[in-house]
Chain A
Amino acid sequence: MTDLTKLTLAEARDGLAKGDFTSRELTQQHLAAMEKGRELNSFIVETTDIALDMADKADEMIKAGRGTGMTGIPIAVKDLFCTRDIHSCAASHILDGFKPKYESTVTANLWQDGAVMLGKTNMDEFAMGSSNETSYYGPVNNPWRATKQDGRLSENNYVPGGSSGGSVAAVAGHLALAATGSDTGGSIRQPAAFTGLVGLKPTYGRCSRWGMIAFASSLDQAGPITKTVRDAAIMMESMASYDDKDSTSVNRNVPNYEHALTGDIRGMKIGIPKEYRMDGMPQEIEKLWQQGIEWMKAAGAEIIDISLPHTKYALPTYYIVAPAEASSNLARYDGVKYGLRVEGNGLSGMYKNTRAAGFGDEVKRRILIGTYVLSAGYYDAYYLKAQKIRTLIAQDFAKAYEKVDVILTPTAPSPAFAMGEKSNDPIAMYLNDIFTVPASLAGLPAISVPAGLSADALPLGLQLIGRAFDEETMLRAAHVLEHAADYTAQPKIWWGEK
């Protein structure tokens, strides 16, 4: 039998519909790949039995003609999503053993459409990180490794990006056809760029946050991580819904995103923000961006220079807002209702010991920063100031969208880096999200599309940022960009072969 793990989601869907293979076969091949790919450490939990059960049900759905775009598609689920009776710990020690008695809206939507759960993927603890090195379950290894001057593959492990590192590693390594991710400041897009995948963060409010373990409530959004733009469109349609259990969910019809992929962007106005041309940006990133502009121009789009003047303040703004919200969101992990408890002197001692043992260094760092910026005497100078600058950043975008339909930028300032390279320098790590954070602060949809390779043959991505709730125009442009880039590179398999 052919290797079904190399299919795209759309190809698998069509094959299933035609009866070329069953979801059980498709699922089994992915389960085998997962077993072989354990060295990637992309899964925290493998739900083998559940996967086969779901695959059988999907096969019945397809037979009965009730199949949708996601029916029978084996996917990986980020550990941030609560899945009923299945380990859901946001890769944190503090949620040790937590098995929720409820199902997140996003995953419930996927199961409703017949998708198949392969397991829960590794991630940065509570989604705090850009390299997936902060997980309690250990770092995730990027299926990609740099190619050395002599043409041989580096022996070092590379980071997959974060925080959805396990999800991208699973898809890039062909252990899953697609995966759910969550994006607070770039956690879908940056790892997608680091692994040659498509990562879509929809407009804030498009996907329900109910049942998704919160990091920063005003920024968190779920989205798909896939091999192609078409796959992202198919999966996005399933994940998105209005949810009356989430007060920030927006009541709008979910369009058929795949229909938006017409291949025609003639006359589309594409904005190029000058502020994204940063000091010290690697030449190859600058070059790729320029190449992207040329591709879009060639496809008939109109290129317009724009200005987003507050861009450079986005990252420090984010590092006030997100930790502030996180410090409060993570207060519920106190050893009382679920997860870890470490006894101590009385109630307060129990709290302190539990939280000291349960949270990793990066999470603690952000809780402390967040606590500090909200504390008496500092609220105005930090939190309030940041929320004002956030308004200015959103206004920058609003002004730009008077002139353009989408904005094209690089996704990340560098390709994937070697494990450990930046883990001792928080700010260097934070700078990974410099191009992704502004859209997050403004709640706008954005997508990363694989567009080329770095000098040492690591994937690079370009980002398109759309108007609020206009994922369709953004997807149309992304689809054209993807085809123009004609990106076909695959990681050389170094794992599981020994």
Chain B
Amino acid sequence: MSVDKKTVAKIADLARIAVREDELDPLAAELNNILGWIEQLSEVNTDGVAPMTSVVEVALPWREDKVTDGGYRDEILANAPDSAHGFFTVPKVIE
């Protein structure tokens, strides 16, 4: 499996990272280099092996259904690059 320019553009788009046209080829080369090295995993026989879900052997803790958090809007918005009337604001979503 090797990635081409088009694939790099596609995954950069999925990851929402702007990539200039002239960066695509070098990026593809870098990714292929890493993916090629990762390729050695295919020699491991993993038939019947369960994928790891967690390294800790404990049960998922459950929280009580109680309102214990929230109610501090100023702190929620304190770091926002932009906000208005208690809302986060973003450039208008054009669909």
| Residues in chain A within 8 A of chain B (CB atoms) | 97-101, 204-205, 218, 244, 247-248, 250-251, 310, 312-313, 316-317, 319-320, 327, 331, 334-341, 343-344, 346-353, 355-356, 359, 364-365, 367-369, 371-372, 375, 378, 381-382, 384-392, 394, 426-427, 441-443
Q: Is B84 an interface residue (CB 8 A)?
A: no
Known: A338-B81, A371-B11. 15 other contacts (CB 8 A): A204-B55, A248-B56, A316-B40, A339-B81, A340-B81, A344-B18, A346-B92, A347-B93, A356-B17, A368-B17, A384-B51, A386-B41, A387-B53, A388-B52, A426-B30
Partner of B49, one of A204, A247, A391: A391
Give 1 or 0 for each of B41-81: 1 = CB within 8 Å of chain A CB: 11010100111111110101101000000001001001111
- Tell me if A355 and B31 are in contact (CB < 8 A): no
Name the B residues within 8 Å of A248 (CB-CB).
54, 56
Name the B residues within 8 Å of A427 (CB-CB).
33-34, 37
Partner of B46, one of A339, A371, A392: A392
Q: Which parts of B1-51 form the interface with A (CB within 8 Å)?
A: 1, 3, 7-8, 11-19, 27, 30-31, 33-35, 37-38, 40-42, 44, 46, 49-51
- Tell me if B56 and A316 are in contact (CB < 8 A): no
What are 5 contact pairs spanning A and B, CB under 8 A? A101-B78, A337-B79, A367-B15, A381-B42, A389-B41
- Tell me if B56 and A319 are in contact (CB < 8 A): no
Chain B's nearest CB lies how many Å from the CB of A289?
25
Chain B's nearest CB lies how many Å from the CB of A154?
30
- Tell me if A316 and B27 are in contact (CB < 8 A): no
Closest 7 pairs (CB-CB, A-B): A443-B55, A387-B51, A338-B79, A341-B81, A356-B18, A352-B18, A101-B75
Q: Total A-B residue pairs with C-beta atoms closer than 8 Å?
A: 163
Name the B residues within 8 Å of A378 (CB-CB).
1
Q: What is the predominant secondary structure among interface residues of chain A facing chain B?
A: helix
Q: How far is the CA of A375 from the CA of B31 in the complex (A)?
A: 15
Name the B residues within 8 Å of A382 (CB-CB).
38
Name the A residues within 8 Å of B41 (CB-CB).
313, 316-317, 320, 385-386, 389
| Residues in chain B within 8 A of chain A (CB atoms) | 1, 3, 7-8, 11-19, 27, 30-31, 33-35, 37-38, 40-42, 44, 46, 49-56, 58, 60-61, 63, 72, 75, 78-82, 88, 90-94
Name the A residues within 8 Å of B79 (CB-CB).
97-101, 337-339
Q: How far is the CA of A467 from the CA of B89 in the complex (A)?
A: 49
Partner of A251, one of B1, B17, B58, B72: B58
- Tell me if A352 and B16 are in contact (CB < 8 A): yes
- Tell me if B30 and A388 are in contact (CB < 8 A): no
Partner of B15, one of A346, A368, A390: A368
Q: How far is the CA of A390 from the CA of B54 in the complex (A)?
A: 10
Partner of B88, one of A337, A368, A389, A441: A337
Chain B's nearest CB lies how many Å from the CB of A344?
7
Chain B's nearest CB lies how many Å from the CB of A89?
11
- Tell me if B92 and A338 are in contact (CB < 8 A): no
Name the B residues within 8 Å of A337 (CB-CB).
79-80, 88
Name the A residues within 8 Å of B16 (CB-CB).
331, 334, 348, 351-352, 355
Name the B residues within 8 Å of A338 (CB-CB).
79-81
- Tell me if A355 and B58 are in contact (CB < 8 A): no
Name which of B12, B16, B53, B94 has the most chain A CB atoms within 10 A of its CB.
Answer: B16
- Tell me if B46 and A388 are in contact (CB < 8 A): yes
Name the B residues within 8 Å of A375 (CB-CB).
11, 14
A368 and chain B: residue at smallest CB distance? B11
Q: How far is the CA of A389 from the CA of B41 in the complex (A)?
A: 8
- Tell me if B55 and A442 are in contact (CB < 8 A): yes
Name the A residues within 8 Å of B75 (CB-CB).
101
Name the A residues within 8 Å of B27 (CB-CB).
365, 368
Name the B residues within 8 Å of A351 (CB-CB).
16
- Tell me if A381 and B1 are in contact (CB < 8 A): yes
Chain B's nearest CB lies how many Å from the CB of A347?
5
B60 and chain A: residue at smallest CB distance? A247
Q: How far is the CA of A204 from the CA of B75 in the complex (A)?
A: 31
Partner of B55, one of A334, A364, A367, A394: A394
Name the B residues within 8 Å of A386 (CB-CB).
41
Partner of A341, one of B15, B40, B52, B82: B82
Name the A residues within 8 Å of B49 (CB-CB).
388-389, 391-392
Q: How far is the CA of A196 from the CA of B3 in the complex (A)?
A: 41
Chain A's nearest CB lies how many Å from the CB of B4?
12
